[in-house]
A and B are shown apart, each in its own frame.
Chain A
Amino acid sequence: MKRHPLRLLQISALLLLGAGFYWPVLAFLSGNNPLHTDEIFFQWEFFQEFLSDPWNLRVIGFSFYQAFLSSVLSILVGLPGAWLLTHYNFPGQRWFRLLTYLPFILPSILVVLAMVLFFGNYGWVNRGLMALLGIDEPPVHFLYSLTGILIAHVFYNFPLAMKIITDQWERISLKYLQAARSLGAGSTRRFFGITLPLLMPSIGSAFVLIFLLCMNSFAIILVLGGGIRYTTIEVLIYQLARIELDFSGAACLAFLQGGLSLIGLAILLKGMDRRVEQESGIKSWMPEKLRNRSLKAWFGLCWIMLVLIFALGPLIAIMMDSFRKFENGEWIYTWHWYQELFTWRENNHFFSSLWNSLRIGLGSALISSLSGLGIVSLIAYRKGVQRRFWELLMLFPLALSTVVFGVAWFYYYQGHLAGTVPLIFIVMAMHAQLTCPYWIRIVLPTLENIPTQWHTESKMLGKQALEYGLRILWPWLRRTFLIAFFFSFSLSLGELNSTMMIADDSVRTLPLEIYGAISGYRFSYASAVAVILLLLSATTFLVVEWSLGRFGLLKQTNKGFLENNFAIVRETG
């Protein structure tokens, strides 16, 4: 057996997954309950009791119902966007892409408040309508019901769906569509018969990620759902772990939730095994300019406008909020909060938190990229049970409630690592555990779009694996890598739940600053910090994209480059 250069990466990725997630979680759960040392952790009676109560079953049912609806809706909203982005060039496309990352960066408290500011009963939309219609009562109630939960979840997640689907759509070979057209298939039939089946892997990916995110959603469910009628398993876990100190119950529930979601997803992934493999990777179309006056252009325009209102509205509302201050009973517009941010004071933690956020974000995105690469190379092109095993193994960190993950990690850290490993690396590793599944799910569909025969052919030509990687894989995937990297980065910037348990002041991050400001009544100051967080992420993204482009590492059209490369490979053969 020849030594594979990826082997090292694969081993370290598995080690990280084992040591960073499975070992602490399993060791914690299989041991005795730290609070009642004579009891073991898993209590079968708990499950029996829990599942025999119809009220709890309703909670489980609702958790799945809302997560399912949210994922389907996010994909339905994201799909036209993906179509538009792959088929047409329009001004501001770059900025449009950037939108994807933004909602994820905000801590949940600000997402909730942004939704209230914009969609609330006295939010922008309703106040606009009230002024327009000349009435005193808000005409539309978006929030505080199931609709509120869905609006917020779609706001949060549809850009993710759009991104993942676009990335694969761009790589569908036009050959198939041309063949179908010459056989007389109409555009509807071509879409459902060819494009959609070819897109299934990325739609599945998006579904899995969004589903798990919505299962773990907490603040949105309570605040925007109205908080009384709608309860999810995650809320119960939080209640048990934080309020009632029943770790054993919380852990049992977390496993129930994670297990049930994984079983559901396993069935889904089994269905996705029937994906079509492309034999040719050559794409012969370029996005057209969105021409005036065509029906498609009007549709595209309407969709963009809607999305801009829907996705940007709440973000702009937060931005506006950061510029206002309540004084003498009315709102005045001012730079005040930004001045406070940037003036040096002894207790101003803003700069150190900014620095911590940035390095934890970049560090964890790097770790998750490396270990993601290792795991992707294990999964790619595999089929059947083996593939599902690996997929579920790496998805489990995402399916397990972060509250329980945090407690398990804390216990592990206390016993084994405290004092030996600097906390900041621990936090990076923890974040990487949570962002790595995203990295993998984003990269996988696009990677598998590369026809397997390329690999075989390049092998036949005696090309080394490294050369194959550099000349074929990297050009094909660099955009996807960038997307995945920034997605991990953004998630890490907004993450708080899992690290709260082990954090101390040396790893104080911006989300913590935001919470601190809010509990001191400084809501607008918190908005200003959030704006900085958004800017920070946007600039990092643009800088990296720009510098990659500058060094020729990231061209908009990598098609020609690839084809040429591949032609050379073929000719020499």
Chain B
Amino acid sequence: MKNKILSVFSLSIIVAGISVYSAWSAELTIYTYDSFNSEWGPGPVVFKRFEKECACKLKVVSPSDSGTVLNRVILEKANPKADILLGLNNSEIGKSFRYDLWEAYHSPLLEQVPVDLRVDKKYRVTPFDYGFIAFVYDSEKLNSPPQSLQDLLDPKYRRKIVIENPKTSSPGLSMLHWTIGVYGEEGYLDYWKKLEPNLLSVTNGWSAAYGMFTKGEAPIVLSYVTSPAYHLEYEKTERYQAAIFQEGHYRQIEFAGILKGTKHQKQAREFIDFMLSEKFQNVIPLTNWMFPIIQHQPLPDSFRIVPQPKTVQELNAVRVHQNNSKWLKEWSRAMSE
């Protein structure tokens, strides 16, 4: 009898062990861009929280910028390795729609997201944060900051502005779309030609541009409206400010979605819901330096330096996808004339 009890007992432990193990071993694979999952990004905090909540294990792959990660997913399409792709922005989702990557999911929490941020009406991708690109300036070197895109053309800013290249970086591309939004396809090249003498350098990516700015090489840089909040939070200084433009600012929204072919439908959906919950959203401002898509609590104190700009007419994702190559071609030719 005793023996029987013991064997039942041990059997049940084994069964329990196996079931716990299988629950834990249900690995959900998330692809994201590198800085999201760096030590200072939101990744380490939110992924851990999610693992606790779903009692499953996450495998996070974050090799490079969002463009590269998207390339990877598209190349893997026949034999998908990831369940979730997190971190595409509105200039990139057009491409992803073209390759039909997504498994649609309409999260119940999406109702809380402001209507104008729910861009995808087919629920293929779900937004998780947003921000605005803006010109950040050093208030010690610049007494009168520019107040509009038009102001940037003033000769007093000659060789004082650093921007990113639309051909190689995402803020640069957003800047191109910004000017197309404001001046239209007929007028944007004209604007850029006038801007050219004021540009010190057009860098390959945000890192080089912002590095040049903080190292005192140029007093104006193309970055995000939220950048000054970092300096206030960690460096206790209000020296760096974002210039707010009358024409309005171009908005970047970041999205995540479930990839077709996932074997973990349930957990993937749980993750999307989790992404909109406060456990994820509240971490965003101070780690990803963007606005949370749902404001569950007041923004951190350092965000007092961040003004809410007017949003400029956004370009439709499909239009962006169709015309991007043409725009880039025209732009690079116009700029090197």
A226-B202 CB under 8 A given contacts A239-B328, A327-B235, A328-B235: yes
CB-based contact B208/A516 at 8 Å: no
**A318-334 with Cβ < 8 A to chain B:** 321, 325-329
Partner of A326, one of B78, B165, B208, B231: B231
Residue of A nearest to B31 (CB): A504
Using A241-B71, A328-B236, A501-B71 as known contacts, say yes or no to A222 and B217 having CB atoms under 8 A apart.
no
Which partner residue on chain B sits nearest A246 by CB separation?
B325
Interchain CB contact under 8 A, B201 and A243: no
Q: 8 Å CB contacts to B: which residues of A5-52? A: 34-35
Q: Is there a chain A Cβ closer than 8 Å to B61's Cβ?
A: yes
Residues of A within 8 A of B212 (CB): 113, 116, 120, 223
Contacts of B210 in A (CB 8 A): 521, 523
| B332 proximal to A (CB < 8 A) | yes
A370 at the interface (CB under 8 A from B): no
Tell which of A227, A245, A346, A418 touches B44, judged by Cβ atoms closer than 8 Å.
A346
A122: interface (CB < 8 Å)? yes
Show 19 residue pairs from A and B whose CB-CB distance is below 8 angstroms, ordered by the A residue.
A35-B74, A58-B336, A112-B208, A122-B217, A223-B203, A227-B202, A228-B335, A245-B71, A329-B239, A348-B39, A414-B75, A414-B76, A500-B63, A501-B64, A502-B63, A516-B39, A516-B41, A519-B34, A520-B41
A229 to B197 Cα, complex, angstroms: 12
Per-position contact with A for B197-216: 1 when CB-CB < 8 Å, else 0? Answer: 00111111111101110111
Interface size class of B (residues with CB under 8 A): 35 or more
Closest to A244 in B: B325
In the complex, chain A residues 103-156 whose Cβ is within 8 Å of any chain B Cβ? 109, 112-113, 116-117, 120-123, 143-144
Q: Which residue of B lies closest to A219 (CB)?
A: B204
Chain B neighbourhood of A229, CB < 8 A: 335-336
Partner of A109, one of B35, B211, B234: B211
A181 within 8 A of B: no
- Does A411 count as interface, using CB distance less than 8 angstroms? yes
Known contacts A34-B74, A218-B204, A328-B236; 5 further A-B pairs (Cβ under 8 A): A112-B208, A327-B235, A410-B72, A516-B41, A523-B214
B217-A347 in contact (CB<8A): no
Residues 306-337 of B at the A interface (beta carbon under 8 Å): 324-325, 328, 332-333, 335-336
B235 touching A516, Cβ below 8 Å: no
Interface residues of A in 216-237 (CB under 8 A from B): 218-219, 222-224, 226-229, 231, 235
Query: Interface centre among B159, B196, B235, by most A CB within 10 Å?
Result: B235
**Is B144 close to A, CB under 8 A?**
no
Find out whether the CB atom of A116 lies under 8 angstroms from the CB atom of B71.
no
Q: Is B282 an interface residue (CB 8 A)?
A: no
In the complex, the chain A residue whose C-beta lies closest to that of B45 is A347
Which residues from A are CB-within-8-Å of B95?
245
Tell yes or no: B297 within 8 A of A by CB.
Answer: no
Cα(A226)–Cα(B202), bound, Å: 6
Residues of chain B contacted by A518 (CB below 8 angstroms): 207, 211
The answer to whether B201 touches A144 (Cβ under 8 A) is yes
Known A-B contacts A109-B207, A228-B202, A516-B35; the reply to A116 vs B217 at CB < 8 A is: yes
Interface 0/1 of B275-314, CB less than 8 Å to A: 0000000000000010000000000000000000000000
CA distance A256 to B331 in the complex (A): 23
- In the assembled complex, which residues on chain B have CB atoms less than 8 Å from the CB atom of A227? 165, 199, 201-204
Q: Is A288's CB within 8 Å of the partner chain B?
A: no
CB–CB B74/A245 < 8 A? yes
Judging by beta carbons under 8 Å apart, are A327 and B168 in contact? no
- In whole angstroms, how far apart are the Cα atoms of A519 and B41 in the complex? 9
Does any Cβ of B come within 8 Å of A296's Cβ? no
A516 touches B237 (CB 8 A): no
CA distance A143 to B159 in the complex (A): 12
A519-B200 contact given A242-B71, A328-B235, CB 8 Å threshold: no
Are the CB atoms of A244 and B208 closer together than 8 Å? no
Encoded as 1 (CB less than 8 Å from any A CB) or 0, chain B from 64 to 104 comes to: 11011011101111110100000000000001000100000
Mark each residue of chain B from 14 to 38: 1 if its CB lies under 8 Å from any CB of chain A, else 0: 0000000000000000000011001
Q: Is the CB of B68 within 8 A of A520?
A: no
From 74 to 102 in chain A, residues with beta carbon under 8 angstroms from any chain B beta carbon are none
Interfacial chain B residues near A239, Cβ < 8 Å: 167-168, 328
The minimal Cβ–Cβ distance linking B268 to chain A, given in whole angstroms, is: 19
- Chain A residues with CB under 8 A of B204: 218-219, 222-223, 227
Q: CB-CB contacts of A498-513 with B at 8 A, as 1s and 0s?
A: 0011111100000010
Q: Is A517 an interface residue (CB 8 A)?
A: yes
Residues of A within 8 A of B234 (CB): 521
CA distance A19 to B109 in the complex (A): 50
Give 9 nearest A-B pairs by CB, closest first: A227-B202, A516-B38, A519-B35, A520-B40, A503-B63, A329-B237, A222-B204, A239-B167, A347-B44
Residues on the A chain within 8 Å of B40, using CB: 516-517, 520-522
Instruction: For the complex formed, measure the closest distance between the CB of B286 and the CB atoms of chain A, giving whole angstroms.
Output: 11
Whole-angstrom distance between the alpha carbons of A559 and B325 in the complex?
Answer: 62
Q: Is the interface of B mostly helix, strand, loop or mixed?
A: mixed
Please state if B167 and A235 are interface contacts (CB–CB under 8 Å): yes
Check: A485 CB closer than 8 A to any chain B CB.
no
Q: In the complex, which of the residues B44, B200, B205 contacts A226, with contact meaning CB atoms closer than 8 Å?
A: B200
* Complex Cα gap A516–B165 (Å): 20
Residues of B220-235 at the interface with A, using a CB-CB cut-off of 8 Å, are 227, 230-231, 234-235
Contact with B along A412-424 (1 / 0, CB 8 A): 0011001000000
In the complex formed, the residue of B with least CB distance to A36 is: B99
Give chain B nearest CB distance to A443 CB in angstroms. Answer: 33
Shortest beta-carbon distance, B263 to chain A, in Å?
15
Asked if B235 and A326 sit within 8 Å, CB to CB, the answer is yes
Partner of B67, one of A109, A243, A418: A243
Q: Tell me which residues across on chain A come within 8 A of B243, comparing CB atoms.
A: none
Please indicate the chain A residues that have their CB under 8 angstroms from the CB of B126 in the complex.
none
**A242 in contact with B68 given A349-B39, A501-B63, A519-B207 (CB within 8 Å):** yes
Q: Does A439 interact with chain B (Cβ within 8 Å)?
A: no
User: Is B241 among interface residues, defined by CB-CB distance under 8 A?
Assistant: no
Contacts of A500 in B (CB 8 A): 63-64, 68
* Separation of A519 and B165 alpha carbons in the complex (Å): 17
Answer whether residue A55 sits at the interface, using C-beta atoms and an 8 A cutoff.
yes
Q: Is A265 engaged at the interface, CB distance under 8 Å to the other chain?
A: no
- Give A346 to B325 CA distance when docked, in angstroms: 43
Q: Which residues of A sit under 8 angstroms from B179, Cβ to Cβ?
A: none
Expressed in whole angstroms, the Cα–Cα distance for A227 and B159 within the complex equals: 13
Q: How far is the CA of A180 from the CA of B200 in the complex (A)?
A: 54
Is A209 interfacial (CB-CB < 8 Å)? Answer: no
A515 sits at the interface (CB 8 A): yes
Are B72 and A517 closer than 8 Å at their CB atoms? Answer: no
Closest Cβ of chain A to B85, distance in Å, is 14
Q: Do residues B332 and A411 form an inter-chain contact, with CB atoms below 8 A?
A: no
Q: Which residues of B contact A34 (CB under 8 A)?
A: 74-75, 77-78
CB contact between B237 and one of A112, A326, A522 (< 8 Å): that residue? A326
B252 within 8 A of A: no
Chain B proximity mask over A437-471: 1 for CB below 8 Å, otherwise 0: 00000000000000000000000000000000000
